Amino acid sequence: MPRKDLLTPTGPTAPAPRTAPAPRTAPAVRSWLPAPLHLLAFLALYLLAVCTPFGQRAENALLDGDAGAGPAWIHDLSGAAYGSTALPPLEHSAVPTLLAGLALIAAVTAIRRCWWQGCAALGVVVATIGAKEVTRTLLPRPDLVGASDLLTEASFPSGHAAVPAALALGTALVSSPRLRPYVLTAGTLWFAVTAAAVQATYHHRPSDVLGSALLACACYALATRLLPPTGEPAPAHPRALPAVALALAAIGALLAGARDDSLAQSLTFAAAGFLSAALLHFTATRHAPRPRPADGP
């Protein structure tokens, strides 16, 4: 006869074997804070750089010179020279660039059939440009330091910088997860070059381009917060890709912000362009579209 273990309970009173409960994955919860924080930073930047004598003197000193856009390295590509072709979206190419970018986003949306992401991307672009127009009208530039007429015109935030910022974030939203980091890298470089170029050609101040970046990031953060989970999980990408993107942005900002007549101005313009681009890249990476949750068994 088989020998029974007297210490093992048998019969109806024996407890059922216990199994460890399956771990539950908490759904990703997005905070509402990023968008208001970007808007608060935008307002603080306006008050500090535009509404104080210290801020006006510091930024007006960067534009103090009779040489104009001539010494800028990117002068021949800025559209300021007679008969030259402007690098989009500089000079009068801003509106055609914006319309072409909106058409590209709409086309990618239709091809990929990512309707929610497409609506969010178009909303980011329209809201950024619209917010730029509204804030440019409502936020005056008081003359607190007795500057010349050319330095008292309202320029905060920059419209030329807002176009690549909004389009870079919009195209990143509708791109596939596999291509999104590379699209964002190209958009970050484009925005860095534009942000530095509009300063080097004396069209805008550092606060103008940073203000455009903050507006675009606020609209993007709000759009991704409202966007439902959509798309597939992002595949693995090279870990060095963000560093490469920022390095390219730094090089582009240095070249586009350089001037022959002042090293200090060149470095300041490049730093403002790079910081604005880095903020854009960080926001897009930190608040990427959420993937759909995996189906349960």
Q: What is the pLDDT of residues 165-221, one digit of tens each?
A: 999 999 999 999 899 999 999 999 999 999 999 999 999 999 999 999 999 999 999
Instruction: Give phi and psi for 6, each to the nearest 5.
Output: -65, -20
Q: List CB contacts of 202: < 8 A, sequence separation 6 or more.
A: 63, 65, 68, 69, 72
Q: Say if 54 falls within a structural domain.
A: yes
Q: What is the pLDDT of residues 95-142, one digit of tens each?
A: 999 999 999 999 999 999 989 999 999 999 999 999 999 999 999 899
Q: Say if 135 falls within a structural domain.
A: yes
Tell me which DSSP letter residue 238 carries: -
Q: Say if 210 falls within a structural domain.
A: yes
Q: What is the pLDDT of residues 27-51, one digit of tens each?
A: 445 677 889 999 999 999 999 999 9
Q: Say if 157 falls within a structural domain.
A: yes
Q: Say if 27 falls within a structural domain.
A: no
Name the nearest CA neighbour of 224 among 5, 28, 17: 28
Q: Say if 100 falls within a structural domain.
A: yes
Instruction: Report pTM.
Output: 0.86
Q: Is 141 helix (H, G, I), strand (E, B) or coil?
A: coil
Q: How confident is the model at residue 65 (pLDDT cuts 50, 70, 90)?
A: low
Q: Say if 207 falls within a structural domain.
A: yes
How many domains does the chain contain in total? 1
Q: List CB contacts of 230: < 8 A, sequence separation 6 or more.
A: 114, 116, 117, 289, 290, 291, 292
> Which domain covers residue 169, as residue numbers?
34-63+75-228+237-286
Q: Which residues pair with 259 in a beta bridge?
A: 72
**Whether the bond into 89 is cis, omega within 30 of 0:** yes
261-294: burial string, b at 16+ Cβ within 10 Å, e else: ebeebbebbbbbbbbbbbbbbebbbebbbbeeee
Q: Say if 282 falls within a structural domain.
A: yes
